Amino acid sequence: MEMKGQGTWSFSQFASTGAVEVRDLAWRDENIAFTKGDVSSDYAVDDQQIKLSKLQGKVLGGSFNGDAQVERWLSRILAWQAANQSKPAESVAASRVERKGEKKKSEEVVAAGVLHLRLRDFSAEEIADSLNPTGHRVGGRLVQQVRYQAHWKLAGKALRTMLTSGSRSI
């Protein structure tokens, strides 16, 4: 992994911008396994949001590009800190939320995000192999373009997700 960027930090806020690149990415768990993945993106992160722009990569024989954004990503941590630390820390946590014009401390602050992806030329064989730990082969190449969009909100322990897919051409 290679990261290039710059940032600032203080007790009340932080911010960083730059670019990140990961080469030869591999993933393996009980649901999926793949190797030879590459991904790169510009990023901007601060105490309220994470933005990935110019997101692009290659995996499973295909390529993708798009962007992602997560709002209020620290809301649960700030709420926990405010509930478990002394009064001065509570005022710092509360001022972070109020400083950005977000909901007041007494209301539940919800993390939410959106992901837009455009997928192209993925290999049906590589997708099937990555999802199939028994190793049965599926031949063929899936050549299509797909637009993918996901929105999510995290409230308490519940994660609500809405997935939509747009145009598709084969």
Going residue by residue through the chain, which has 170 residues, state the pLDDT in tens, using 9 for 90 and above.
999 999 999 988 899 999 999 999 998 887 788 899 999 999 999 989 999 999 999 999 999 999 999 998 887 777 777 777 755 544 544 555 555 555 444 456 678 889 999 999 988 888 888 886 555 444 554 444 556 566 666 555 555 555 554 544 44
The DSSP string of 103-166 is --TTSPP-EEEEEEEEEE---HHHHHHHH-TT----------EEEEEEEEEEETTEEEEEEEEE
- β-bridge partners, 94: none
Evaluate whether residue 3 is within a structural domain: no
In a domain, 119, yes or no: yes
pLDDT at 136: 46
pLDDT value for 51: 97
Asked whether residue 132 is domain-assigned, the answer is: yes
| Nearest Cα residue to 21 out of 6, 3, 36, 34 | 3
Residue 97 lies in a domain: no
Domains in the chain, number? 1
Q: Domain of 54?
A: 49-72+110-169
pLDDT at 130: 85
Per-residue model confidence (pLDDT) at position 62: 93
